[in-house]
Amino acid sequence: MATFLNEPSHTFNEYLLIPGYSSSKCIPANVSLKTPLVKFNKGEEAAISLNIPLVSAIMQSVSGDKLAVALATEGGVSFIYGSQSVSDEAEMVKRAKNFKAGFVTSDSNLKPTNTLSEVVALAEKTGHNTMAVTENGEPNGKLLGVVTSRDYRVSRMSPDLQVSEFMTPLDKLITAPEGTSLKVANDIIWDHKLNSLPIVDEKGNLCYFVFRKDYSSHKQNPTELLDSQKRYVVGAGINTRDYSERVPALVEAGADVLCIDSSEGFSEWQKLTIDWIRSKYGDSVKVGAGNVVDAEGFRFLADCGADFIKVGIGGGSICITRETKGIGRGQATALIEVCAERDKYFEETGVYIPVCSDGGIVYDHHITLALAMGADFVMLGRYFARFDESPSNKVSLNGTYYKEYWGEGSARARNWQRYDLGGDRKLSFEEGVDSYVPYAGSLKDNVAVSLSKVRSTMCNCGALTIPELQKKAKLTLVSATSIIEGGAHDVIQKDQSPSVK
C-alpha cells in the first residue's frame, strides 16, 4: 500500500520569522553572508565558499557568461546552462574566466597589416579599446605594439591606413616579464600612470595584460568571488547523458564547480554520473546534484558523493511539473526535512554537505526564510532573468519592457537531457512554460537591495551570520487571514507615480 504523509506541505509564504533579541552590534554593516558552496569535513573550511548566498539557475534564459561575470562580481556563482553544445558551453566558461583575471588573456588582437577599419570593427565587436599587435595576430604571438583609442581618430585618418602606421610600438611601451606578481604589476601601473601593462615571456611573446580598471573594480567590489589566480569563480551545468564528453571540456575551460541539471535527482543516473567524475578526477572536480524533496533523496545523493545537494521539485515560476506529472512538494516543507537530514548526516559522518534551495522564491524575504530553514544558499531563475545581464531578449509590450523567460522543460529549450528516464531523445510533453518577466535593470543594483533586506531581517533575529540565523531563528506558520493582514489593507493607497509630489 502507498505511504501517505497526511501533514500538508507548505510554501515559504506560509511562514513568518519571529524577531529575537538583537544587540547594538546587530546592524546590517556587521552581517556576513559568507556560506559554503561545497562539502567539507568537520573542523575544515570548504574549498569554495560564496560571499553571498545566491547562485543562478542552469537555464538558457538566465545563465550565460555575462551574468556569470556580474554575479561573481557581487560574490555569487552562476551555473552556465548546459542545454547547448559542449563547445559552446565551454567557450562561455572561458569567456567568463578570462573576463577579469588580474592577468587577462588578450581577446582583441591585430596584425600590423590590419587596417583602421578593421580596428574599429574589432573594438565594436569586443567592446575593448586596448588591442595587442602581434606578428601573427594571435593572443600569445610576438608583441610588436599596442593600439588604444588614443592612437587614432576615425574622422581624420584613412580607413585603409595600416596598424603599423599608428600603433604605439613596443619600444615605447612599458612591459613586465612573465612571472611578475599581480601586486608588482599594479605598482608598475600606478608608478608609470598606465592604463594597461603587457606581460611578455623571454622570447617577447605576449602572455597577458594587467589593467588599471581591474584594480579599481576590486576596490569597488570587495565581495567579488575570485579563484586563486584572481579570476572569477564560474559554475557550469552538466547532464547525465554526455558527461564523459562535457565534463572534461568544462574542466579544461576552467569551470570551478559543476552541477547536474535534472528535473529529479533521486536516480541511478546521477549516481553513474558522479561515479564517473570521481573515477576520472577524484575529489578535485566539485559537482552538485539534485533535485530532491525529502530525507531519503538527500541521503542517497550524499552517499553518491555529491558536493552540494539541491532541493525543490515543481516550485519554479515557469515549472508545471506538479500539474503535468503530479510530483513535487511544497518548498518550505521539503527544505526543512532535507536540512534536518543534512545535520543528521553531519553528526554521523563529520561531513557537511551544503543544501541549495531551488525554486519557490517569489519575494526577497523568501531568501531569508530559506536560509533560516537551513539552506546554505538559494538558486534563482526568474529573479536573475529580469536583469540586463541575462541572455534573453528585452521586449516592449504595450509600452512596458520585459525580458523573455522560459523553462528548461519547455518546447523552446528542448532540453530532453535533464529527464533521466531513458528512451528517445525528445520531450514527450512539456514541464515548463515560455513567458515574460518585468525588466528590472542591472543585476548589481537589484542584488544590493535584496541583500540589504536579508541583512536587516537577520539583525531583527539577532544573527550576524547565516549559521547563527539557522540556530536562532523562530518560525511560525501563518493562516490565510494573517497573510492578508501582512500587506496593505483597509486603506485607499495614493498614486505612487513619479508625477505625484
Mapping DSSP onto H, E and C, the string for 146-180 reads EECHHHCCCCCCCCCCEHHHHCEEHHHCCCEECCC
Eight-class DSSP state of 231: P
Dmax (CA) of the chain: 84
Strand partners of residue 357: 311, 378
Q: Which of 304, 418, 459, 461 is catalytic?
A: 418
- CA atoms of 231 and 104, how far apart (whole Å): 9
**Cell digits of residue 21:** 533579541
CA dihedral (223, 228, 230, 235) positive or negative: negative
Amino acid present at 336: I
Give the other-Cβ count within 10 Å of 492's Cβ: 5
Q: Any residues with CB less than 8 A from the CB of 79 and at least 6 apart, and which?
A: 55, 56, 57, 58, 63, 235, 236, 237, 257, 259, 261, 379
Amino acid present at 439: Y
- CA atoms of 202 and 6, how far apart (whole Å): 72
Q: Quickly tell me which residue has 489593507 as its cell.
A: 489
Is 48:37 a contact under the CB 8 Å cutoff? yes
Q: Catalytic site residue 418?
A: yes
E-assigned strand segments in 18-63:
35-36, 40-41, 49-50, 54-56
Q: Report CA-CA distances (Å) from 497 to 269, 402, 440, 500.
A: 53, 19, 17, 6
Please state the separation of Cα 438 from the chain's center in Å. Answer: 20
Q: Catalytic site residue 212?
A: no
Q: Which of 319, 339, 356, 459 is catalytic?
A: 319
CA count, 13 A, side-chain hemisphere, 151: 23
- CA atoms of 197 and 202, how far apart (whole Å): 16
Instruction: State the DSSP H helix or E strand holding residue 301, giving kind and residue range, or none if neither.
Output: helix 295-304
**Cell digits of residue 256:** 570551478
Is 59:81 a contact under the CB 8 Å cutoff? yes
* CA end-to-end distance (rounded Å), the chain: 66
Q: Which residue numbers are catalytic? A: 319, 418
